[in-house]
Every structure is written in C-alpha cells, then in structure tokens.
Structure 1
C-alpha cells in the first residue's frame, strides 16, 4: 500500500514528526523521551505515516559524520526554518553520499551551519555585535558564537579578514578567537587574515599580534607583518609579508615570481569552471598585481603581457598556451 504524500498530512503532524526526528534519530534520547515518542507514534495513523515518510527522507543521514549532523540540526530552530525548508534539507542530506560529504569542495553542511557566507566571486563585509569587522573572501563560510566568556568566529571554509572590536557591551574582557579544524587563533588587539586549506591554515597579521594554538603541539605568537602556517601538529613561519596575504581585501592577487599554474589556481577561486594552462608553461614565473573582480579582463591582460594565447571553448573552460 502506498503511503500518502507528506504534504497531504496535517501541517501540525509534519512539524511533530520533524521534531521527533531531531530528538530521536539525531540526539541521544533517554528512556522517558523514547517512551513519549512511542506514545505519540501510536496515537494516530497520520503520526505513523509522517514518521515513515520522514525516515525515508533522512534515511541516509548515517552517512554523514554524527557531529556534523547534530550541529546542523541544532542550528535549524535558531534559523526558524519553515517546514518545507526542513524537508528540503532532509532530502538534500539524504541524497548526498559518503564520498561527497568527505570532499572539501562539496560539503553542504558548511553553508548550513554558517552565519555569514559568500558565493564564488563574492566579497562580503559585516560588523559583528562586539564591533569587530569581518570580511569574507570568495566561497567562504563562518559561524559566530559570542557568550559571556569568549567571542568565537569559526572558519568553516575559505578565507576571512578580522579587525578586532573593542567589545563595549561586555562587562569583562572576552577573548576574540578564530576557530578552525586545525586549531585556533586569538586576537591580541589586531587585524589579521586566516585562510583554510585542506591540511593547514595560513595566517597573515597586519596589525598587533595573534596567538596561535594548534590542536596538538606548541603554539606561538605571530607579530605584525608575519605570515604563519598552522597545522594540527604545530606552527611554522613562512616567507613573505602579511600585506601580500591580505591583498584580496582590495580585490587584488599579488604575485611575485609565482608559477603560472599557481596564479591560475588562485584566479580560479573567483570564477566557475575550468581555468588552466598547458604543462610546458605551468612553472613560468609571473609577477604582478591582478584584479580578481574581473577575471576575464585579468586573463586577457596576463596573456598579452606574457605572450600567451588564450583559448576559450566557453566562459567555463579557459586555457592558456605558449
């Protein structure tokens, strides 16, 4: 027998099924909660139908890391999502396989958890509740958690620039920290940028200082003008100046003897599709300040300045050759 469509059920019942799905499937219910759920399930046929449909929509949630599932669902009530949005979310997560969830570039949970995001090619600016100024580079996402003890900006993907605020609303000092999967950065009255890579974070300090603490190993304090990499096991000073790392805030890519392939990889962050070059010129050193707001114009300038040919099958497939 075919179950009635979920949309044909009473809205209140659908809302109850969603609530029970969160409390039973994606939390750790105690005995009284499980008993209450059984009473609800047995109270009406529509309850059983709604629950069966909810389970079919969310049946592949077990493929998602449990911690990410809980964080995603915990955030939903804060956002006051409508019922159809919740169903769309469950359908999305149910349709995404394990491999996609394990791939950095296709993790939908990053945007679901985020308080501030940018799409590919976007550059966002916000003033936070403590007066801090937040900028996000292309394709980035952060989550903000301020409480009585600390101000935490969690970088979920991409790149941020943070100017620490004076926090006038707090009765006592609250440290301002940027949290990542590798470790954390604590602002010491400062301006700095943090970029998240697959296996490390890059820090550039343009004012003040930043205390770095990896998940394991010893931390350090980065001073103004310095660039550091933070991995899960430690920190390491890098060559170069912070002004170059933060140039994206002025919509620029600053290259100094950078291999052409790396320049194109950086430019590709700001546009959709394929952008590459033939292997024979991949290591050709490139220097210059390149505008990232108009990638097509930048590519034309790059090709003309270095005697290269630009091949475009479509705007989503561009290749440089000698």
Structure 2
C-alpha cells in the first residue's frame, strides 16, 4: 500500500473499465473494437484512472483462491468496488492468471487440443507424414486428422501455409483439406495460405488451385495468384496478392494504403498486449514492408516515419497518437 488517497470514481465508470477488461481478455478484438476502446479511454480522465486501477489489481490475485481474493478486494482502499464488480473481476483474474491483465499469455483452449501450435510472436514449420509442409504463423493451432481416406488439417486458431505433399505412402492419393468453422479448403496440387478471423477466413493461392466450400454455400475454385475471402455462406474474390497474404513466412507485414488502426492490429498479433491509436488518426493510410521479428523496433520506425507518438500506459498497453 502506498498510503496515497486515491480519488473516488463513479460506479458506472468502474463498470465500464471492468467490462472493457473482460471484452479484451476473453476475445481477440478486431480493429473496430480496439478503436472503440481507445476512444473510450481518451474521452475522460476518469476512464483512464478507472482502467489503470482495474489493471493494477490484476497482478495481486494470480493463483489466489476465489474466496480469499474476494475478501482481499473488499479491503483494498483503491478498489472501492461493489460486490457485483468484484465477482466480475475475479472471473477476469481467473482467465488472465499470472500473465498480467490483457497480456494474452493464458494458453488458449485451441492450443491445448492442438497437434501443432505456436505462441504469440512465434512461427513454426513441420513436415507432415504425407510429405506436406505446414507453416504456422503467430498464435496459431491445428489438429491433424489423417486416416485411410483423407488428410485433414483443422485450423482452430490463427494462420497457416500449406505445401501439399505427394502422399507417396498411401495406396491411393487422399484428398488434402484445411477445415475451419466457416468451411473447407481442398488443395488441388498447390501452395496456399489460410487465415482464420472472427467472421471468416482469408485464402491466398501461390501455386495450383484450391476448392473453397462454404459451410452453407456453393463451392468455388481459386487459382494461382488469387486471394479470396470465405464466410459461412459464400466465397468472394479478394484484391491482395498471395505474396502479400503469406509475407509473414518471411517475417514481413506488407501494407498498401492500409489504415493505421489495421496496421497496428496486425502488428499486435505478434506482441503481447494491446496496441491502439487515437480515433482521429485511425484511418490514416500506411504503406511499407514492416519487420515482424522485433515489433517494438518496428513501432519505433513507424512512429518516426509518420510523425507519431508512442504512449505506454503500461508495458502491455500502448496508445499511438500525434
């Protein structure tokens, strides 16, 4: 305890801070959610104070039994929380554990089920039993289902690149498919990448062709040099090149007039924590090839090149402004 009297905050503001913590911890927030959070954080000094106070409480309760944590929360002068708020916080602390608030260091359930997976900021490569070569991008997980009739790679989380193997050890060539919650991607002798997002998938085909089959829609065939988007209902042609889509294999993010908020969201996939920006600059177009190996160095370069400021609320919470 510091002995410093902290200002009382309205209950509704504390509620908002807790709700944002839960939303950003339990879900992989997209660029629009991050922009909305940044707007809320910047709109009032009490929002910033409430956010910092909620975050500061997190590290004290890692591994503590729930009842003891609840009793401790009731006694903290800097908390000044209602019991309903304390119960919500306890569920948040249980999810975050020792990793720190918003740090995305809790092992997702997808990695617990996976045959192959990567952590945040990590990339991996495996040669499968059929000769296929599988690359996984940051924070990704797959389950393999290879049997006498099929070769299926289920993408549970993140992004993959697959080079189809000859399947020489099988009596008959088995179909090679990537399965997702939104539909199937069947390799037709090819190199391709698939990224799983909140509302669909992205496909880039470098060689050969891929048959896309939406879960509730009509199949389409993507050819080499094309990129596509897949939802549960339909497959639509995209504008990005497969080289841009799979540039992560070379440790690069390729941006072509990409809104700043999207650039920061992409970079944030490779670094623990949250990177956001002021809403008034969120749509500023950014172009360039950005290194994914050292995100902090890339952020410094981005700030210098575009006249931006990096404001660290904590080690894990960064806000970009002008």
Tell me the TM-score normalized by structure 1: 0.66
After superposition, where does 1:1-322 map in structure 2 within 5 Å? 108-322=108-322
Q: 1:294 to 1:143 in 2, by over 3 A?
A: same
Q: Quote the offset at 1:106 in angstroms.
A: 7.7
- The 8 Å contact of residues 278 and 321 in structure 2, kept in 1 or not, is answered as yes
CA RMSD of aligned residues (A): 2.0
Q: How far is 1:122 from its partner?
A: 0.5
**Distance in structure 1 (CA, Å) of the matches to 2:253 and 2:220:** 28
Q: Runs in 1 of length 4+ with deviation above 4 angstroms?
A: none
- What do the CA deviations read for 1:231-262 (whole angstroms, capped 9, x no partner)? 11111111121111010111100000000000
C-alpha distance after superposition, 1:153-208 (max 9, x if no partner): 00001000000001111011101000001110000110000000112110000111
**Secondary structure in structure 2 of the residue aligned to 1:262:** helix
Residue in 2 that maps onto 1:22: none
Instruction: Give the structure with higher Rg (CA).
Output: 1
How big is each residue's C-alpha offset from its partner over 1:54-98, in whole Å with a ceiling of 9 and x where there is no partner? xxxxxxxxxxxxxxxxxxxxxxxxxxxxxxxxxxxxxxxx999xx
Shift of the alpha carbon at 1:217? 1.5
Give secondary structure in 1 for the equivalent of 2:217: coil
Distance 1:107 1:119, change over 3 A: closer
Deviates more, 1:200-209 or 1:303-312: 303-312
SS at match of 1:293: coil
Task: Count residues with an aligned counterpart.
Answer: 222
Are the counterparts in 1 of residues 95 and 106 from structure 2 also a CA contact under 8 Å? no
1:238–1:114: structure 2 CA closer, same or farther, 3 Å change rule? same
Rounded to whole Å, the distance in 2 between the matches of 1:142 and 1:240 is: 25
Q: Distance in 1 between matches of 2:276 and 2:110?
A: 27
- Give the SS at the match of 2:188: strand
The 1:273–1:95 alpha-carbon spacing in structure 2 relative to 1, beyond 3 Å, is closer
User: d(CA) in 1 for partners of 2:206 and 2:179?
Assistant: 19
Q: State which drifts further: 310-319 or 244-253.
A: 310-319
Q: Secondary structure at the match of 2:189?
A: strand
Give the match's secondary structure for 1:229: strand
Deviation at 1:108, TM superposition (A): 3.8
What is the CA–CA distance in structure 1 between the aligned matches of 2:316 and 2:109, rounded to whole Å? 26
The CA deviation string for residues 84-138 of structure 1, in whole angstroms up to 9 with x for no partner, is xxxxxxxxxx999xxxxxxxx9884312221000011100110000010000000
* Structure 1 gap segments, 5+ residues each: 1-93, 97-104
1:166 match: secondary structure = coil
Alpha-carbon distance, 1:314 to partner: 3.4
SS of aligned partner of 1:270: coil
Distance 1:182 1:277, change over 3 A: same
DSSP 3-state at the match of 1:173 = coil
